[in-house]
């Protein structure tokens, strides 16, 4: 298997949900979602093969952003919404 790099399998890079600002929090939401996929499917060839399918399907893109929105809700709460 052509395994994704170990760095892509870290659950929470940096080990914390606390970020300096909302943009960094949003970036972390994307990272959490991506690493979650990688932990379920660590075979890079399978991931690359699936990319043309989901990245050109509006419904898949919408579903992916739903995951990001859910992760972001947690991160934003963790940071008291960077108020």
Q: How far is the CB of 6 from a copy of itself (least distance, A)?
A: 14
For residue 46, state whether it binds a copy of itself (rule: CB under 8 A): yes
To the nearest 10 degrees (0 to 180), the angle between helices 44-54 and 58-78 is 110
Q: Nearer Cβ to a copy of itself, position 8 or 68?
A: 68
Q: Considering beta carbons, is residue 5 or 82 the nearer one to a copy of itself? A: 82
Residues with Cβ < 8 Å from 21, sequence gap 6 or more?
82
48 binds a copy of itself (CB under 8 A): no
Distance CA 10, CA 7 (A): 6
């Amino acid at each position: 298997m052509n395994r994704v790099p170990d760095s892509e399998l870290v659950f929470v890079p940096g080990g914390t949900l606390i970020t300096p600002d909302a943009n960094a929090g949003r970036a972390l939401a994307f990272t959490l979602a991506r690493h979650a996929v990688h932990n379920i499917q660590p075979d890079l060839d399978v991931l690359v093969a699936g990319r043309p399918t989901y990245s050109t399907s509006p419904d898949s893109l919408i579903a992916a952003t739903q995951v990001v929105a859910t992760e972001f809700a947690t991160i934003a709460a963790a940071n008291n919404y960077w108020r």
